[in-house]
């Protein structure tokens, strides 16, 4: 990129184009860009953030911003609400077992169509429209997640990751291309498996020893008893909040999953509100962040 002045001018141009409303953060954001330069960031993208066109465009701008700054970003996306909508439309019974969608052969074909053939290319297209460089890894034409079925097939074609083609992902990152990965796994017998997107993103982040795993959710993060955002959580603090009932319900397994991921080499996991435009850029490029950072 040339000398320091050239880099500063180029970055200013990128910030002004893709994040004009963050002008007051631009100077410090450049320091954060330096910090993340050679580190890997994995983002789990799904739920509401994939349903709202305004948020889709804003997310694509954020990713394009990171990409043009040379950051190594990997996206693993879901598609739960979209699959749910299609099953309802086709009057197919949608059952869950311990938070996982029971996946029959018929449901698997719907999952593959929506996740791999509709949402994955849509994400790639939006990033490229904003000037970024992205590559589709949809789990059908390009497979990188080895998987095995869980519970002896009791809940159908639902899998858990057992291996990852890390070299392919790393080769894309070296070329400054954003891998966009569908959470579909495969085995040696030619079966395709539906993998929970959080699980897939966690596995990818672990395998790549990511600096950050960002979970885009439809909640603000972890909240205290007064519904205020808890900006940072370590194990000691989390245990205290679990014990006194601050962290309960659906947030409990999420927090436990986050700590398991950290144990396996990811430096920090962040739960942020994907409903907010620019949530990812605010999380990585501002001191306050945009959600709850969970670390050792």
pLDDT of residue 181: 98
pLDDT of residue 1: 45
Both tokens of 63, joined, read: 């990713």
pLDDT of residue 134: 98
* Least confident among 28-42, 143-157, 215-229: 215-229
252, pLDDT greater than 90: no
118, pLDDT greater than 70: yes
Q: What backbone torsions phi and psi does residue 81 show, to the nearest 5 degrees?
A: -60, -35
> So where are the chain's domains?
25-294
Mean pLDDT of 10-21: 93
- d(CA 145, CA 166) in angstroms, rounded, equals 9
Mean pLDDT of 140-145: 95
Burial class (CB in 10 A: 0-12, 13-18, 19+), 257: middle
List, in order, residues 6 or more apart from 253 with CB less than 8 Å away: 99
184 close to 116: Cβ distance less than 8 angstroms:
yes
Q: Which CATH number is 25-294 given?
A: 3.40.1160.10
pLDDT in tens, 35-86: 999 999 999 998 778 888 899 999 999 999 999 999 999 999 998 889 889 8
pLDDT of residue 217: 83
pLDDT of residue 26: 92
pLDDT of residue 116: 95
* Least confident among 8-17, 158-167, 216-225, 263-272: 216-225
> Average pLDDT over the chain, rounded to whole?
91
pTM of the model: 0.92
Q: What backbone torsions phi and psi does residue 97 show, to the nearest 5 degrees?
A: -135, 115
Quickly state the pLDDT bin for 93 (edges 50, 70, 90).
confident
Mean pLDDT of 146-159: 92
pLDDT of residue 96: 84
């Amino acid at each position: 990129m040339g000398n320091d002045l050239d880099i500063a001018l180029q970055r200013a141009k990128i910030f002004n184009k893709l994040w004009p409303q963050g002008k007051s953060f631009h100077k410090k954001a450049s320091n954060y860009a330096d910090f993340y330069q050679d580190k890997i960031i994995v983002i789990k993208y799904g739920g509401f953030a994939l349903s709202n066109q305004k948020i889709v465009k804003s997310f694509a701008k954020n990713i394009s911003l990171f990409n043009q700054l040379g950051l190594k970003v990997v996206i693993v996306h879901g598609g739960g609400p979209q699959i749910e909508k299609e099953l309802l439309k086709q009057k197919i019974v949608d059952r869950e077992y311990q938070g996982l969608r029971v996946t029959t052969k018929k449901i698997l074909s719907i999952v593959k169509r929506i996740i791999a053939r509709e949402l994955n290319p849509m994400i790639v297209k939006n990033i490229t429209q904003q000037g970024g460089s992205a590559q589709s890894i949809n789990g059908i034409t390009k497979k990188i997640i080895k998987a095995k079925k869980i519970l002896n097939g009791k809940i159908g074609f639902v899998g858990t990751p057992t291996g990852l083609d890390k070299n392919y992902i790393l080769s894309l990152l070296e070329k400054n291309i954003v891998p966009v990965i569908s959470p579909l796994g495969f085995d040696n017998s030619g079966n395709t498996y539906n993998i929970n997107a959080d699980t897939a993103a966690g596995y990818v982040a672990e395998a790549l020893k990511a600096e950050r795993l960002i979970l885009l959710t439809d909640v603000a993060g972890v909240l205290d008893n007064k519904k205020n955002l808890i900006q940072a959580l370590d194990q000691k603090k989390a245990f205290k909040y679990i014990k006194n009932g601050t962290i309960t319900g659906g947030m409990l397994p999420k927090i436990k999953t986050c700590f398991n991921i950290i144990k396996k080499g990811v430096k920090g996991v962040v739960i942020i509100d994907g409903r907010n435009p620019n949530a990812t850029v605010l999380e990585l490029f501002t001191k306050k962040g945009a959600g709850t950072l969970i670390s050792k």
